[in-house]
Amino acid sequence: MKSIVWLLLAGAALAAEPLKLPLNVGTLKTRDGKVFENATITGHDAVGVKIVHSAGVARVEFSRLPKELADRFPRDHGAAKEQLDREAKREAAHDRAVDKAPEKATPGKDAEDDTADTTPDTTVEKKPELKGDPEVKIASLEAYIRRLEMGIDKAKETVRDANEKADKYTNSATTTVTRRDKNGGTTTRSVTNESRLTRAESQRKRAAREQAKVGEAQKLIEEAKSQVAELKSQIK
């Protein structure tokens, strides 16, 4: 009987003892089974305590603390409810802002991509008007073929660049957002940036246009080569 009275008196004295922070509590095991190693309580609010532990920082609600530890903190259920309501409203507002916010270009990266997106399409030069004797015509056609070949190289480079950008925009269009609720649980959802998907589609179309120009130029080269061969046969 004496030991029981002593424990009750000791518990009352502990509860009455002024709380001094930071408070090192060592291994903290919550009522729901979560364990925090090397835990130190650094502060508290109306909802729970703030701790620093071996894996980082956390807030543990009073309802999850061991009773003997929770009882050492002042409790105001009305203030706790108001705080949780405010936090829920802030989180909901943040989620809406994430969904609606336009994507900002990263200086030196996306900004350069946007500039490249406005580059004019490759222009395929039409066959020049041929004048003079066969040798002059041949020289004109051969120079024309070289210009077309240079244009093809440029168009192919643009195709590669556009496809790479399209892949980058597509791969970065969807991100995963994790939120912690008032009970300490987490929810994960995917957020899609429609602006990046639009950019990806624009780059795919750009690549397709440039590839079509490659085919058009190759056809003109074949026609020019055929004409050069015909003119050379006339010289012989």
pLDDT per residue of the chain (236 residues) written in tens, 0 to 9: 443 333 344 444 444 455 788 899 999 999 888 899 999 998 899 888 999 888 878 889 888 899 999 899 888 888 888 887 787 777 666 556 655 544 444 444 444 444 345 567 778 888 888 888 888 888 888 988 999 999 999 999 999 998 999 888 888 888 776 777 666 666 777 778 888 888 889 999 988 999 999 999 999 999 999 998 998 888 86
Instruction: Report yes or no: 53 and 37 within 8 Å, Cβ to Cβ.
Output: yes
pTM: 0.47
| Residue 87 is assigned to a structural domain of this protein | no
> CB within 8 A of 136, min separation 6: which ones?
none
> What's the pLDDT score for residue 236?
63
Q: Are 168 and 110 in contact (CB under 8 A)?
A: no
Residues 59 and 123 placed together within one structural domain of the fold: no
SS3 assignment, position 112: helix
Q: Is there a single domain that holds both residue 111 and residue 182?
A: yes
- pLDDT, position 109: 45
How many domains does the chain contain in total? 2
Same domain, 117 and 219: yes
Chain centroid, CA 201 distance in Å: 18
Nearest to 103 by CA among 177, 198, 178: 198
Cα distance between residue 12 and residue 17, in whole Å: 9
Residue 94: inside a domain: no
Q: What are the phi and psi torsion angles at 186 (to 5°)?
A: -125, 150
Is residue 222 domain-shared with residue 124, that is, in the same domain? yes
pLDDT, residue 189, reads 73
Say whether the peptide bond before residue 22 is cis (omega within 30 degrees of 0): yes
Are residues 114 and 36 part of one domain?
A: no
Residues 173 and 119 in one domain: yes
| Residue 41 DSSP one-character state | E
Beta bridge partners of 186: 180
Residue 115 has which token pair? Answer: 């500039």
The rounded distance, in Å, linking the Cα atoms of 187 and 110 is 30
pLDDT of residue 41: 93
Phi, psi (degrees; rounded to nearest 5) at 148 = -65, -40
Residue 164 lies in a domain: yes
> Are 126 and 224 in a shared domain?
yes
Whether residue 114 is found in the same domain as residue 52: no
